[in-house]
Amino acid sequence: MNVALNGQTEPIAIAPKHRLRTAIRSGEFIVTAEVMPPKGGDPSHMLEMAGHLKDWVHAVNVTDGSRAVLRMSALCCSVLLKQAGIEPICQMTGRDRNAIALQADLMGAHALGLTNILTLTGDPIKSGDHPKGKSVHELDSIRMLRLIRQLNSGIDFNEKNMSDGPLDIFPGAAVDPQSRSWSGLQSRFEKKVAAGAQFFQSQLISDFDKLEKFMDQIVGPCVGGASPGETRPILAGIFLLKSAKNAAFINRCVPGVDIPQHIIDRLEIADDPLREGMKIAAEQVQAARQLCQGVHMMAVRREDLIPEILEMAGVEPQTPQKKISLLSAAV
């Protein structure tokens, strides 16, 4: 698109519509990352961090009350990312909304062009900063996926026709390949696939042997024979560990995560622990590329380092946005 600025015609980049959906359906290696909404009214830091990711990822997740800690609305933050030319994945939990509120937010998301929704049950209220708050949990993540499938067909939660048209939501789900309950992991994964999940983002991966087992024994039999247009990519969660102390905190406070001692030792003896953490994350991206169809990058409040980590791992920037001329179009 060309616009006139001070009498001069300048090209501007046009973001591809449904970038994530298109990449998944074409079988590309998918890269997503995560940003944290502000705790307050100023989104400038979040937008600055997301800006570093723009050319390197297919989409950027906005967390929805992660760890049950109060933050700005994920829906509002997703709108801000979209206005900045960054494709968002809006996380949405059933912890804080009943079926009416979930449907209302999904309709609003569709109207605003926020089609990527990651369905989550939500972390326990007692683990966060408002332990006396009340959970809702009318719908868990699997039932939310089923609800989205209904809304996409023009039917609401009460099996009534939606008079103003169906939605077009592209739903994803979370998965934990390191779950201690193998049968539970398999059951929930299969149910999420059946309920309509189009992509999966994993929790922090620290044991790549377990990820390989998950891909071979659960994902393979369930979706392994799908064509590129029907694939359900698994995006391995890669977390930037900033120090040995940070790794120990994760082990202590994040359920289901067990960062190996040899990694903690590497961070402990490193002259520059942050740089060592980046090297470890890059190695993990390389390992994930041999096992699954994507990575989901997490670097809390240091998202600006993610492009360098990806570059260290040999992952190239996503295709530059094309500049489209509208010389013949009305402005």
User: Is 156 a member of any domain?
Assistant: yes
Using pLDDT thresholds of 50, 70 and 90, give the confidence band for residue 127. Answer: confident
Question: What pLDDT sits at residue 322?
Answer: 39
Query: How far is C-alpha 298 from the chain's CA centre?
Result: 9
What is the domain extent for residue 228? Answer: 22-312
Closest CA to 77 of 35, 15, 107: 35
CATH code (residue 99)? 3.20.20.220
Average pLDDT of every residue of the chain:
90
Is 80 exceeded by the pLDDT of residue 328? no
In a domain, 15, yes or no: no
319 inside domain: no
Residue 70 resides in a domain: yes
Task: Report whether pLDDT(3) > 60.
Answer: no
User: Is the full-model pTM beyond 0.85?
Assistant: yes
Angle (nearest 5°) at CA 136 between 167 and 237: 70
Tell me the C-alpha distance between 208 and 214, whole Å. Answer: 10
DSSP 181-235: -HHHHHHHHHHHHHHT---EEEEEP--HHHHHHHIIIIIHHHHTT--GGG---EE
How far is 34 from 107, CA to CA, in rounded Å?
Answer: 23
pLDDT digits (tens, 9 = 90+) for 12-24: 444 557 899 999 9
Average pLDDT over residues 222-229: 66
pLDDT of residue 13: 45
CA torsion, points 84, 92, 256, 306, in degrees to nearest 10?
-10
Closest by alpha carbon to 322, among 24, 44, 55? 55
User: Would you say residue 206 lies in a domain?
Assistant: yes
- Per-residue model confidence (pLDDT) at position 320: 54
Q: Is residue 237 part of a domain?
A: yes
What pLDDT is recorded for position 253?
77
Answer with the residue of higher pLDDT: 4 or 285. 285
Side-chain half-sphere of 91: how many Cα atoms within 13 Å?
A: 28
Q: Indicate the number of domains in the chain.
A: 1
- Tell me, yes or no, whether 232 lies in a domain: yes
pLDDT of 330: 34
In a domain, 5, yes or no: no
Any idea which residue has 């980590």 for tokens? 309
